[in-house]
Amino acid sequence: MSARMKLKVLSMNLVNESQIEAFEKARQTRDARFDGKFFIAVRTTGIYCRPICRVRMPKVENITLYISAAAATEAGYRPCLRCRPEAAPGTPAWSGTSTTVKRGLRLISEGALDEQSIEELSDKLGVTSRHLGRLFNQHLGVSPQAIAQTRRLHFAKKLISETGLPMTEIAMSSGYGSVRRFNDHIRKVYNRSPTLLRDKRSVDADAGVKLRLPYREPFDFDGMLAFLAMRAVPQIESIVEGAYVRTLQIDGETGLLNVSQDVENRCLVCKVELTNTRPLMKVVEKVRTLFDLDADPSEINQCLSENGELTDLIAENPGQRLPGAWDPFEVAVRAIVGQQVSVKGATTVMSRIVDRYGERIGETVLFPTPESLAALSVENLSMPNKRAQAIKDMAAAVVRGEIDLARSNSSEILIGQMTAIKGIGPWTAQYVTMRALNDPDAFLHSDLVILKSAASLLGIQSEKEMLERSQAWRPWRAYAGMHLWRYAASLAR
């Protein structure tokens, strides 16, 4: 049996057969485009690496390919200390997995198994824990618990390597629950204590909590900032000297977030000021979501370019990302306010909402809670009463649990929940799903700006025709919509 055939046999139940050939070429060339898409476990050393690792190339007959770091860890391999698998870009969209698995992964990434049992997670997903385990093993080769454990391990290692935080804080921030569990897990996987893993030469003791979040190139950070700047909620978020800055409150902790770009190292630099660092992992997950860091531009651009209609737009901006939401409720309110008014007009109204209903803690201003807006006085807002009532009713529905803005929700369910509120139309609901759920296939086919761009570029004359044409762009229609929005801006210049 040839070495290439041995690789196929060893990887068959972990990597799709059609991927193996591409992955092997990427391994041989250390192709950065595949970083985070698969991991290479070397049986002779017991270590697994990223495909970009600069160590001596192992022989093909000595390796096994895994589609996730969790699968490699579960098989007994240790993370490489040189290429640091915890520093790889996120796995892009977990392509090919079932809807239930994707929703489960989102919940796990938000800490579901740090605070809840597998039975509680399964209940949220509407399946039994046994069936959920079968689905994870079928699609990912590992259990939900293994995914959660690797998530904790990698985040802990990241904090050890990139911050000067005390080990006790790292243990709590990584979801371990106790220092003993943290120490035991680190020793078991890395065969050394957490203290010995820290390279004190690389840690700036005065930097506080500053983490590097990698992305796949190309990445249009300036375009993302421009989008967020136009829609920034006054007193809550702003763009300052090329960085996104906002106030935050998470798990009862109030703080400040600053996100900038490090072009040379292909990462975003996330600075977090929190008195208690326990929610740090949730903060980082929200930043990843907001800036769409798990996206794979090569896959998205290839799909959108297949019929040639959007090729020129993609060539002009191959690093287009889908802006997410730090706070889904905040985005939902902003979307309702923005119905049938200009972006500037909506910003003015949002400023008044924050002034009247936002919470002030010292000099920090926080966005109003659903409870506060559920009790708002419709007459006190300088906007049509029908729209103000829609905000009030939406907030009340969130409080009652009738609207679920969690990322684990499905777009169809959320659209139905939103449009059940009088005064909220399909455009608003679709916009919320695009940003709050990060749905890559959400498409605002009735948006006037998108229709204007489609008419100029593609000769499309109706919403129905727009919807039909968009089927060719699935499952990345949200990115197509972003390209068409940007094209409209170029027409206006």
- Is position 187 within any domain? yes
Q: Is residue 318 part of a domain?
A: no
Of 174, 202, 230, the last residue of a domain is 202
* Segments forming the whole domain that contains residue 123: 99-202
Q: Say if residues 156 and 280 touch (Cβ distance below 8 Å).
A: no
Burial profile 189-218: b = 16 or more Cβ within 10 angstroms, e = fewer? bbeeebeeebeeeeeeeeeebebebbbbee
Same domain, 243 and 165: no
> Which one from 35, 294, 327, 447 is the annotated catalytic residue?
447
With respect to residue 416, please indicate whether it lies within any of the assigned structural domains. yes
Summarize the confidence of residues 303-316 as an average pLDDT. 93
Q: Verify that 282 and 358 share a domain, yes or no.
A: no
Instruction: For residues 144 and 196, state if they share a domain.
Output: yes
Does residue 12 have a pLDDT over 50?
Answer: no
- Residue 300 inside a domain? The answer is no
Is the residue at 464 inside a domain? no
Residue with tokens 């759920």: 437
User: What is the overall mean pLDDT for the chain?
Assistant: 90
Asked whether residue 114 falls in the same domain as residue 189, the answer is yes
Q: What is the pTM of this model?
A: 0.90
Please tell me the distance from the alpha carbon of residue 207 to that of residue 127, in angstroms, as a whole number.
Answer: 44
- Residue 446 in any domain: the answer is no
Q: Is 68 helix (H, G, I), strand (E, B) or coil?
A: coil
| Residue where a domain stops, chosen among 271, 291, 311 | 291
pLDDT, tens only, 332-342: 999 999 888 88
CATH number at residue 238: 3.30.310.20
Q: How confident is the model at residue 3 (pLDDT cuts 50, 70, 90)?
A: low
The verdict on 139 and 183 lying in the same domain is yes
- Asked if 330 and 414 sit in the same domain, the reply is yes
Query: Is residue 239 located within the same domain as residue 174?
Result: no
pLDDT at 201: 59
Rounded CA Rg of the chain: 23
| Residue 426 belongs to some domain of the structure | yes
Which of these, 353, 368, 323, lies nearest to 486 by C-alpha position?
323
Please say if the pLDDT value at position 16 is more than 90: no
Residue 184 appears among annotated catalytic residues: no
% pLDDT > 90, the chain: 72
State CA 67 to chain mean position distance.
Answer: 18
Number of domains in the chain: 4
Q: Does residue 447 carry a catalytic annotation?
A: yes
Q: Which strands sit side by side in the sheet containing 243-250, from one edge to the other?
A: 209-214, 267-274, 253-262, 243-250, 237-240
pLDDT at 105: 87
Other beta carbons less than 10 A from residue 152's beta carbon: 23
In this structure, the answer to whether residues 7 and 82 fall within a common structural domain is: yes
| CATH number reported for the structural domain that contains residue 422 in this entry | 1.10.340.30
> What are 52's two structure tokens?
């970009």
31, 35, 49, 53: the catalytic one is 49
Q: Which residue's structure tokens are 């200009």?
A: 342
Helical spans, DSSP H, in 317-462? 328-337, 343-357, 370-374, 385-400, 411-419, 426-436, 448-458
Q: How far is CA 188 from CA 47, 81, 193, 210, 393, in A?
A: 13, 15, 9, 27, 52
Q: What is the CATH number of the domain that holds 78?
A: 3.40.10.10
3-class secondary-structure state, position 373: helix
Cβ neighbours of residue 109 under 8 Å, at least 6 residues apart?
151, 285
Residue at which a domain ends, from 159, 181, 202:
202
Say if residue 96's pLDDT is above 70: no
At position 249, the amino acid (one-letter code) is: Q
